[in-house]
Structure 1
Amino acid sequence: METVTASPTFPDLIRHQRANGSAELRFERQGAGTVLRHLYQSAPLRVLFPRPEAEEPPLAALVNTAGGLAGGDRLRVAMVAAPGSIATLCTPAAEKLYRSLGPETQVETTLQVEAGATLEWLPQETILFSEARLRRRLEIDLAPDARLLAAEMLVFGRSARGESFARGSLHDSWRLRVSGKLRWADTLRLDEPGAALADRFGFGGAGAFATLLYAGPDAAAQLAPMREAAGPLGAATTPREGVALIRWLGPSAAVRAALVAAIPALRPVLLGLPPFLPRLWTT
């Protein structure tokens, strides 16, 4: 008797190639300036080093050459600012999270800011397409006298196309430690994003959400300028000793405009840097 073997179904034949990229950087103090001492990168992540403006620290730009992320993709970034160094890490454009066929996209970032160092973590916004699934984790470890200015912005769908982040999932967490001890933790989890984003006691139909965090020994003294920089759309607070933050919730264009205005307003006050955005935010 002839044996008939069932043919695999079409989905079983599909093996999607997934991105698994990483980037490692270490900046060190040299004389009166800061230099790059270590760089490792693997596709699709690439790190570019645009020439900084006068009086600006070294600028590293994280580029995703894939043009966006899909379910199953994984990115890892590790940055060290060695004692006394100062650097800025940003992205040249918004990151797009495409619809997933099931698996989560995973993004892991580790920032280590050592004694007397200053670091800016200023990526542009992350846009969550409908049915995207993102698990993102930001781990920060600071020396007691280190300073950090960090921003993150989430856009819930493509408003220009009338799309909302009605289905999908988001698990976004921050962990900030000082000398290895947990100082502040925050997690946003949306398993049914449509209901949570529409709820008037939740996100109230907002199209975007942004955080600007300052961590440093003088954080409590900086609450007044941060409240001023928050503007009418945001609110500032000091949730723990050594941590001050602003949060904005509202339409995506208005939230981005508020964040774009706050960063240059606060850089001179918090970090002693020129009142400019990183050049890649405006080019």
Structure 2
Amino acid sequence: MTTLPFRHQRADGGVSARFAAAPAGARPEVLAQSAPLRLLLPDAEPGECSIAALLNTGGGLAGGDAVRVALTLAPGARLTLATAAAEKVYRSLGPATRVENHLEAGDGAALEWIPQETILFDGASLQRRTEIALAATSRLLALEMLVFGRAAGGEVIRRLHLRDTWRLRRDGRLLWAEALRLDGPDRLADPLGFGGAGAMATLLLAGPGAESLLPTLRESLPDGVRAGATKPAPGLVLARFLGEAGAVRAAIAGILPMLRAELLGQPHTLPRLWTN
């Protein structure tokens, strides 16, 4: 009798959604989802635009899992997308965890993409690609935070494979591109690399009014983390944060209300999903 090799069950699913403009900000026109991802549409807080909550029903991602998010905002739609909790990428037995994000905002649309942090366990292997397509007058506030190890438990990263790629286009023209590659912990500890930081966050502001926020953003950068902000292209502002995981999250939480209000016309508060 031939013995079949044991194969682990892997997740392969995602969310595909298109939102039209609505008085509250946006309403779903198309929504398709498959495990382990779900998109929930809770009621927004007073004064806020429509909100969508991205949920991983599997509780985390393992090596070999593949998930995709495709989100389109029609002209004039306004939407905040956040995750219900931090995402976890577990230790891999070999295969990489693959994450694909494709975001598109039409003319006059405003997209706030602010998932909570992604926690990379020791031994994790993650390949993530984020593609963003903006129209000439659309606005974007995008945030991604990576945590290197389970900070609360004092986990030390001894093995890690990370490929994190960004592409941002406006009217089909490439505006910003970045690729991060980490193999092992050496670059995390290197003083010329991450300098022992337990977390990193990337913040992007794009669209009309983004450049005017650069001086205020620089003045608001906290002392508890290493942070800087720059203008890599017209109509685009980039900020980066390095430090201990709790300090980086606190820095982001302190700056987000101002940015949401000034760029997107949102209330000067954190979204509810970030405070639950």
Same fold judged by TM-score > 0.5? Answer: yes
Q: Aligned partners of 1:270 and 1:164: how far apart in 2?
A: 38
Which of 217, 231, 251 aligns to 1:238? It is: 231
Q: Following superposition of structure 1 onto structure 2, how do residues 125-204 of structure 1 map, counting pairs within 5 Å? A: 125-192=117-184, 194-204=185-195
**What is the TM-score of this pair, normalised by structure 2?**
0.96
Q: Following superposition of structure 1 onto structure 2, how do residues 1-283 of structure 1 map, counting pairs within 5 Å? A: 8=3, 13-30=5-22, 33-192=25-184, 194-232=185-223, 233=225, 234-283=227-276
List per-residue Cα deviations over 1:85-108 (Å, max 9, x = no partner). 100111010000000000000000
8 Å CA contact retained: 1:229, 1:265: no
Equivalent pairs, count: 274
Alignment CA distance shift 1:195-1:33 (3 Å) = closer
Q: Comparing 91-100 with 29-38, which one deviates more in the overlay?
A: 29-38
Identical aligned residues as a percent: 55
8 Å CA contact retained: 1:226, 1:245: no
**Structure 1 residue ranges, 4+ long, deviating more than 3 angstroms after superposition:** 30-33
Aligned to 1:13, the other structure's residue is in SS state: coil
RMSD (Å), alpha carbons: 1.3
Gaps of 5+ in 1: none
List per-residue Cα deviations over 1:211-250 (Å, max 9, x = no partner). 1110113322221122123222221111111110211100
Aligned to 2:21, the other structure's residue is in SS state: strand
Q: Aligned partners of 1:32 and 1:138: how far apart in 2?
A: 27
Q: Aligned partners of 2:27 and 2:146: how far apart in 1?
A: 31
8 Å CA contact retained: 1:145, 1:216: yes
Aligned to 2:201, the other structure's residue is in SS state: strand
Gaps of 5+ in 2: none
**What is the TM-score of this pair, normalised by structure 1?**
0.93
